[in-house]
Amino acid sequence: MFVPLQTRVPILLLVVFIFSIPNTTTATATETKTSAGHAIPFPSHEHFNVKQTIKESTRIHPPPSKTQGVAEEEEEEKEFPWKLKLLHRDKLPFSHFTDHPHRLEARMKRDVKRVDTLIHKITGAATNNNNHNNNNNNNVYEVEEFGSEVISGMEQGSGEYFVRIGVGSPVREQYMVIDAGSDIVWVQCQPCTQCYHQSDPVFDPSLSASFSGVPCTSSLCERVENSGCHAGRCKYEVKYGDGSYTKGTMALETLTFGRTVVRDVAIGCGHRNGGMFIGAAGLLGLGGGSMSLMGQLGGQTGGAFSYCLVSRGTGTTGSLEFGREILPMGAAWVPLIRNPRAPSFYYIGLSGLGVGGARVAISEDVFRLTEVGDGGVIMDTGTAVTRLPTTVYEALRNAFIAQTASLPRAPAMSIFDTCYDLNGFVTVRVPTVSFFLMGGPILTLPARNFLIPVDERGTFCFAFAPSPTRLSIIGNIQQEGIQISIDGANGFVGFGPNIC
């Protein structure tokens, strides 16, 4: 089942993302058909390169130089004017952790806060609707904010990926957290009554010729959750489950994405901000609500965007692109499910899970979104580790343990209860993990998307965790390296076919 260190036989590391409709559920490799009709092998097991993964995943890569590859970048911008580079938080110049265990510990603490916030908001909205169907005040669901160029987040924030965009006229470049589960776009603004530290100078609206405030009487102000009025100006306030917050005035401003200039984008100009947003200037909400960037762009992008979260340790950047023309051919498309109680989030249909090519014995009903907005499966860029209802997680974990009985175990660590001591191994043979998606496609993950190193000596943990509710969250570790496309206008989510 494994190849020890002293065995020097070279083995090719298989890293693939497979979308297929299986002809069998046995643990042997079989010939299957993808949703696009192409014949491909369905791998049930993989030779996982332990040494290479430790080397790549535990080292810190410096952020790309601003002068590095300028000519290539300019040529790419001409061809793809809506394309932005996506970076993980650990690549940012304001990431202060220098060793892997401390980075991982901080990431897991952020992750727990993020998940608690999502559960509180979504289940709170569902409970409120179920108990108060005749109540017209449905603002229990508070929009969470994350936004920016896709880079791995802030030191103490739950934002994991960042982008770099231009704000105002003339353009001031800012790092922004991206969040596919948030609706408001906001930046810190002068004058700052209270602002956290960010890597770029705080945006000063008095220096921007395109900045204009939003009056209280504007219909836009009515669309903002928790809005208010002061001195004739529309006020906003967003609070987060971990105590973080942003407060300020709503405004219309010009944003620049690569070579694309978008005027009159509604943004929050935050004068009082605190908590987890250390490092970035603010948040770029990509959620499904009307106030998100996608909701505001509307016809300019055809309601579509695509992202690739770069795999940890590769030293490269991911991408964030907008527009229908970037939607890939040959992707595995599944229906996008809308939850009116939590409109910011992108839900997908999940019918089951697999380990080593065999389907885990769990009911499809455990993934179902109820009529009152409870349960379901969301895709979230801000959550790192995939969460599953406790009974589902335990079934998946036990199936994985059964197929890795020959591997030495290690003590539980952080939020992980299933870990392995792979110190001294070059490669190990492990089963792959699969998501059985609605309509038939299967998303099969390579081992690096569910076995992650927690130290530099060779301790790896199974990167799934239980959820205390019926809500399932597919996190960014499981999304890494996969091209994910959101076609909000037509109601589909695409996986692949490209890898990052």
Residues annotated as catalytic are 179, 380
Give the span between the Cα atoms of 294 and 177, in whole angstroms: 15
Q: Give CA separation, 442 vs 156, 355, 434, in Å.
A: 35, 12, 6
Residues 154, 280 contacting (CB under 8 angstroms): yes
Q: For residue 31, what are the β-bridge partners?
A: 41
Give the span between the Cα atoms of 496 and 481, in whole angstroms: 9
Q: Which of 402, 401, 432, 376 is nearest to 22 (CA)?
A: 432
Cβ burial 330-368 (10 Å sphere, 16+ → b, else e): ebbbbebbebebbbbbbbbbbbbbbbbbbbbebeeebbb
* Size of the chain in residues: 500
Give the span between the Cα atoms of 186 and 442, in whole angstroms: 37
Burial class (CB in 10 A: 0-12, 13-18, 19+), 83: buried
Q: Which of 362, 486, 326 is nearest to 434 (CA)?
A: 362
Q: Give CA separation, 340 vs 14, 371, 495, in Å.
A: 40, 10, 24
Q: Give CA separation, 51 vs 6, 47, 302, 452, in Å.
A: 13, 12, 44, 12
Please state whether the peptide bond connecting residue 343 to the residue before it is cis, i.e. omega within 30 degrees of 0. Answer: no
Give the span between the Cα atoms of 464 and 340, in whole angstroms: 27
Q: For residue 258, what are the β-bridge partners?
A: none
Give the span between the Cα atoms of 132 and 126, in whole angstroms: 10
